[in-house]
């Protein structure tokens, strides 16, 4: 079972508010078809095996619509859920349940899909020392939610954005003139931040190691070259007693992720965790009183 840090992001409320505003607009004309005082209960059922994620967003949707809605969970985020299993029970005014149903399920299906995909990759590299991490390739406005879902699936998070770590990519190197110059400027302008360089050849790796970086991102290198890169980095670690994070990325899938992990890289970053999303199928079935 995933044991990642499931600390909740601080922007759940605003994220839910935007989602409800998008769907409800100036009023739910559909819910108005139902008597205002009517109450109901409902069960949410998962239609496929998955890892649950998104329950705080689900709850916040109904809390924002009517504080009298109650939600009782049979499972917690990060747990495996089996097909055709009820995962929670919701009770409250029918209008609130109808208005919030789609938005609440949208969060649940999206985030459980991310968690489930992450879990599959984590399972493939089990037994190695390699960690599965996400990238900045997230849905606009949902980055913190998707990063939470990655943690639910047992993965870890890369930098949040452009402000909390430095990743020197090909265009940065081209604009700066060299890897060494780019690293030097990073140290001068962002003291204390983690500095990582994306490299595509072993020659570039040598330059990055000489520049004194904190980590390297080995992009689209075949496994035999990755193994050589890991050996080079390990030798540099021993010689200078300096920790260096070795990360692989580029065209990673469930078929090749284990082979890449077996090269000894510390991390494998996969943009598909948060951009190639297969939503988990949930449904909500209501019973009126």
* Residues involved in catalysis: 102, 137, 169, 198, 219
CA 195 – CA 244 distance, rounded (Å): 10
CA 199 – CA 218 distance, rounded (Å): 5
- DSSP one-letter string for 132-201: EE--S---TT-HHHHHHHHHHTT-B---SSSSSSEEE-HHHHHHHSSHHHHHHHHHHHSTTS-EEEEESS
CA 110 – CA 20 distance, rounded (Å): 16
CA 10 – CA 20 distance, rounded (Å): 18
* Contacts (Cβ under 8 Å, ≥6 apart) of 28: 95, 98, 99
Q: Hey, what are 199's tokens? A: 């490299």
CA dist list (Å): 172 to 93, 182, 186? 55, 7, 11
What order do you get walking across the sheet with 70-73 strand by strand? 70-73, 85-93, 39-46, 282-288
75 in Cβ contact with 81 (< 8 Å): yes
The upper half-sphere exposure of residue 48, i.e. CA atoms within 13 Å in the direction of its Cβ, equals: 9
């Amino acid at each position: 079972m995933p044991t990642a840090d499931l600390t909740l992001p601080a922007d759940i409320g605003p994220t839910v508010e935007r989602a409800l505003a998008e769907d409800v607009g100036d009023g739910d004309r559909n819910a108005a078809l139902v008597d205002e005082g009517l109450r109901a209960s409902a069960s949410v059922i998962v239609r496929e095996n998955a890892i649950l994620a998104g329950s705080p967003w689900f709850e916040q949707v109904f809390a924002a619509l009517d504080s009298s809605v109650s939600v009782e969970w049979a499972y917690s985020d990060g747990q495996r859920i089996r097909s055709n299993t009820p995962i929670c029970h919701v009770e409250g005014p029918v209008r609130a349940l109808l208005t919030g149903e789609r938005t609440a399920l949208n969060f649940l299906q999206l985030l459980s899909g991310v968690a489930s995909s992450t879990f599959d990759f984590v399972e493939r590299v089990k037994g190695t020392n390699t960690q599965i991490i996400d990238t900045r390739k997230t849905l606009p406005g949902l980055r913190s939610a998707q990063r939470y879902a990655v943690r639910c699936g047992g993965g870890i998070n890369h930098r949040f954005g452009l402000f909390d770590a430095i990743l020197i990519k090909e265009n940065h190197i081209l604009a700066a003139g060299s890897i060494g110059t780019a690293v030097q400027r990073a140290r001068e302008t962002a003291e204390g931040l983690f500095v990582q360089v994306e490299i595509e050849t072993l020659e570039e790796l040598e330059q990055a190691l000489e520049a004194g970086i904190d980590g390297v991102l080995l992009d689209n290198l075949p496994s035999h070259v990755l193994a050589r890169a890991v050996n080079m980095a390990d030798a540099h670690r021993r010689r200078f007693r300096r920790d260096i994070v070795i990360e692989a990325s580029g065209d990673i899938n469930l078929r090749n992720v284990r082979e890449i992990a077996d090269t000894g890289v510390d991390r494998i970053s996969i943009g598909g965790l948060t951009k190639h999303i297969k939503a988990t199928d949930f449904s909500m079935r209501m019973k009126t009183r």
